[in-house]
Structure 1
Amino acid sequence: MSQVTVYTTQHCPYCLNAKSLLSRKGVSATEIDVEASPQRLAEMMQRAQRRTVPQIFIGDMHVGGFDDLVSLDRKGELDALIQA
Structure 2
Amino acid sequence: MNQITVYTTNTCPYCVMMKNFLKEKGLPFKEVNVQQDPIAANRLVKTTGQMGVPQTEINGQWVIGFDPERVLQLVK
The correspondence of residues 9-28 of structure 1 with structure 2, limited to 5 A, is 9-28=9-28
Equivalence map 1:38-77=2 (5 Å): 38-66=38-66, 69-72=67-70
Q: Partners in 2 of 1:58 and 1:65 — Cα distance?
A: 13
Post-superposition CA distance 1:22-71 (Å, at most 9, x none): 111111111000000110110111122100010011011112211xx224
* TM-score when normalising by structure 2: 0.89
- Structure 1 runs not aligned, ≥5 long: none
Aligned to 1:29: 29
**Higher-helix-fraction structure:** 1
Computed over aligned residues only, the root mean square deviation of the Cα atoms, in angstroms, reads 1.4
Alignment-mate amino acid for residue 12 of structure 2: C
Does the Cα contact within 8 Å between 1:6 and 1:57 map onto a contact in 2?
yes
**Aligned pairs, number:** 76
CA contact (8 A) 1:2 1:81 kept: no
Residue type at the aligned position of 1:57: E
